[in-house]
Amino acid sequence: MSNTATPMMAQFLEIKAQYPDALLFYRMGDFYEMFFDDAVAAAAALDIALTKRGKHEGKDIAMCGVPQHAAEGYLLTLIRKGFRVAVCDQMESPAEAKKRGYKAVVKREVVRLVTPGTLTEDTLLDARRHNYLAAYAQVRDAGAYAWLDLSTGELHVARCPLVTLGPMLARTGPREVLVVEGEVPPALDEDPAVVTPLGRASFDSEAARTRLETLYGTGSLDGFGQFDRAELAALGALIDYVDITQKGRLPLIRPPVQEHQGAAMQIDAATRRNLELTHALSGGREGSLLTAIDRTVTGAGARLLETRLCAPSTDLETIRGRLDAVQAFVEDRTLSADLREALRQAPDMDRALTRLALDRGGPRDLAAIRNGLRAGERVAHALSGELPDQVAQAARALATLPDCADLLNAALVAEPPLLKRDGGFVAEGVDVDLDEARTLRDEGRGVIASMQAKYAEIAGITALKIKHNNVLGYFIETTATHAEKMLSAPLSDTFIHRQTTANAVRFTTVELSELETRILNAGARTLELELEQFARMREAVLADGAAINTAARALAELDVATGLAELAVDSDWTRPVLDMSRSFAIVGGRHPVVERALRRQGGPEFIPNDCDLSAEGDEAARIVLLTGPNMAGKSTWLRQNAIIALLAQIGAFVPAASAHIGLVDQLFSRVGAADDLARGRSTFMVEMVETAAILNRAGPRALVILDEIGRGTATYDGLSIAWAVMEHLHDVNGARALFATHYHEMTALSGKLDGVSNATVAVREWEGNVVFLHEVREGAADRSYGVQVARLAGLPAAVVERARSVLDILEKGEREQGGKTKTLIDDLPLFAVPAPAPQPAKTESRVESRLADILPDGLSPREALDLIYELKGLMPNETP
Q: Say how far apart CA 176 and CA 171 lie, in whole Å.
A: 14
Q: Which strand (E) or helix (H) includes residue 578?
A: strand 577-579
Q: Following DSSP, what letter does each residue of 814-863 receive, concatenated?
A: HHHTTT-----TTTS-TTSPPPPPPPPPPPPPHHHHHHHT--GGG--HHH
Helices (H), 432-500: 432-459, 483-487, 491-494
Q: Say how far apart CA 512 and CA 163 lie, in whole Å.
A: 78
Q: How far is CA 473 from the centre of its chain?
A: 50
Q: Following DSSP, what letter does each residue of 58-114 receive, concatenated?
A: TEEEEEEEEEGGGHHHHHHHHHHTT--EEEEEESS-HHHHHTT-TTPPPPEEEEEEE
Three-state DSSP class for residue 728? helix
Q: How far is CA 477 from CA 472, 500, 509, in A?
A: 11, 10, 12
Q: Contact 412/363 with Cβ under 8 angstroms?
A: yes
Q: Say how far apart CA 805 and CA 815 lie, in whole Å.
A: 15
Q: Say how far apart CA 613 and CA 581 lie, in whole Å.
A: 12
Q: Contact 647/591 with Cβ under 8 angstroms?
A: no
Q: Say how far apart CA 812 and CA 817 lie, in whole Å.
A: 9
Q: Say how far apart CA 432 and CA 867 lie, in whole Å.
A: 118
Q: Contact 294/305 with Cβ under 8 angstroms?
A: yes
> ω before 490 within 30° of 0 (cis)?
yes
Mark the binding-site residues, compressed into ranges.
628-635
Q: Following DSSP, what letter does each residue of 188-209 receive, concatenated?
A: GGG--SEEEEE-GGGG-HHHHH
Q: Say how far apart CA 241 and CA 420 lie, in whole Å.
A: 29
Cβ-based burial of 769 (10 A; exposed 0-12, middle 13-18, buried ≥19): exposed
For the chain, how long is the longest CA-to-CA vector? 138
Sheet of 584-589, strands arranged across: 577-579, 658-662, 584-589, 609-612
Q: How many CA atoms lie within 13 A of 324 on its CB side?
A: 14
Q: Say how far apart CA 779 and CA 464 lie, in whole Å.
A: 97
Residue type for 691, please? T
Q: At what angle do helices 545-571 and 333-343 cross, to 10 degrees?
A: 130
Q: Say how far apart CA 167 and CA 266 lie, in whole Å.
A: 8
Mark the binding-site residues for ATP, compressed into ranges.
628-635
Q: Assign 3-class secondary structure to 673-722.
A: CCCEHHHCECHHHHHHHHHHHHHHHCCCCEEEEEECCCCCCCHHHHHHHH
Contacts of 309 (CB under 8 A, 6+ apart): 277, 278, 289, 290, 293, 646, 650
Q: Say how far apart CA 579 and CA 591 lie, in whole Å.
A: 23
